[in-house]
Each structure stands twice: as C-alpha cells, then as structure tokens.
Amino acid sequence: MSHISEPPVERVTIPVLQRWKEEGRRIAMTTAYDAVTARIADPIVDVVLVGDSVGNVCLGFDDTLPVSMAMMNHHLEAVVRTKPRALLVADMPFLSFHLSPAETIRNAGGFLQRGADAVKLEGGAKRIEMVRALIDCEIPVMGHLGLTPQSVNVMGGFKVQGRTADDALRLLDDAHRLQEAGCFALVLEGIPAELGERATESLRIPTIGIGAGPGCSGQVLVFHDVLGLTEGHRPKFVRAYANGFQLLQEALSRWAADVRNGAFPTSQESYLLPESLRDTVANWPPSNPT
C-alpha cells in the first residue's frame, strides 16, 4: 500500500488557500529549486516555494544575501517547466525589492511572466510601500515575518525572534499591517509557538509556520531538510523524514564499486549489434591483400 498522502485534486490557487484557512484545513508547503525536486514535491504539497534558500542549499553560500534575480529566475524557470498543480511562489531575493517601487514591480512582474503565481518578500512595516505597489499591479504577495534570513546581519545571526514584549507586539502589528496592505498569506519563522498561534487566530489570512509552532495554518520546510539531504547542524524546527544524504551516498558507492570490479555494466545495460553485423565488426580490420 502506498504511503503517499492524497493531495487535493483541484489546482491550488489563492482563493483555495483562503478557503482552507476558514475550514481549518492545514497547508503543506515546501521548496523546490529544479525540475526533479518540483516533480517529487508537487503531487504531495499544496504550495511550492522557489526559495532564495537555494543559496544555502544548492549554491554553497553561508546565507541568502548573495542570491541574485538572475539566479532566482534560472531556478524558477526550471520549476515552471514541470507545470505544478501546487501554488507556485517565488522568493524576492535581497535588494530586489528595496530600492524603489518601480524596481520591485519590475522584478516581481518578471517572476509572474516566467510562470510564478505569487511572490514572497521579507519584512514588516518598512516594506508596506512595496507590498502595496505590487498589489496595485495585481501581483499576489506572501509576507514573511520573524526570523527573516535576509536580515541575518542586523539580527546578529539566525536567532529566534519575538521573545520580548516589544518584539512580540511589533510582530503582531506588522502581521496585521501586511494583511491590510493586501498580502494573501504570511510565513512566520523562528518565533515562539504562542506568538505564532496568536497571530494565526487574529488574522483572516493563512499563516505558514517554520519554527513557529503547531498553531499556524500550515507548515513549510526546505525540501532537502525534510529528506535529510544536508549534512551538519539542523535547526530545532527541522524534522528529517529520511536520511537521504546517507542513502544516496550508499547507492553511489555501490555503483562505483560495481564499475571498479567490472560488475557494471552488464549486457542488460548495453546495446547490442544486429547479428548480421557481428562478424563484420569482429573481423575488422580486413587483412591486407598480398
């Protein structure tokens, strides 16, 4: 019997997510950075995020700050080619929505022209102008509050946010301001569970938690974290459902050993000449005439 969870049959859209919030149906969201990860994820999850986390996960950066629009466009296009059923959201990378409304609209609009359904951007009250500019252009926006990775230098590292009264109240205020500016959903990252639950209860729009406790409307984890494809330290909020890194290394090791001892390839993995040509090839080169 298959253990693959049954996704909804319908194409996931923003109104569908909003209906699920009202019905109390939990939303599953993960990242995808290429066609392979998108094809694995799409039949199962509700939202696929082409995240700027591609910088850490795939490109070897220490954080997301070096990720450019060109990089994001490259990975988004690969995911779009799979024609996902899930709602497809693209992350606005650092400096792509900070300079002016016109630049923000140009960058976000480029994502939609490439096939994204919506964009996600980090930050609270200070990003309201950019959110409103995008909404005015019919570009759907998912907000992102709490531990915002693009603010890693200001925060002094990847630290839990909202642990003081001022910070907690500011986050709740920012959440409502983003809702009123037109965001259709919010990612809440790295905040106390009670704060995530309170934000979710007080908002009309869905919240997607990552290290924000079980009280959110849904949850997001990086694809590679869910499958255990990364080495080293994992944040507290990550639960790996497979030891993918070890499994893949073991498979590759078995293949390399078969290559070295002559067990791969066999005739089963080889193409054969038609019988009529075998003698011709076996007798080449022809003997020189005397």
Catalytic residue list: 189
Structure tokens belonging to residue 43? 């039949």
Over its C-alpha atoms, the chain yields an Rg (Å, rounded) of 24
CA–CA gap between residue 85 and residue 251 (Å, rounded): 31
CA–CA gap between residue 224 and residue 18 (Å, rounded): 27
Spatial neighbors of 91 by CB under 8 A, at least 6 apart, are 49, 50, 51, 52, 53, 72, 119, 120, 121
The CB density around residue 51, as the number of other CB atoms within 10 Å, is 27
In terms of phi and psi (left: phi > 0; alpha: psi -120 to 50; beta: otherwise), the region of 265 is beta
In the chain, the DSSP E strands lie at 27-31, 47-50, 87-91, 118-120, 141-146, 185-189, 207-210, 218-221
CA–CA gap between residue 97 and residue 100 (Å, rounded): 7
Helix ranges (DSSP H) in 44-164: 54-57, 69-80, 101-113, 128-136, 152-155
Output DSSP code: residue 82.
T
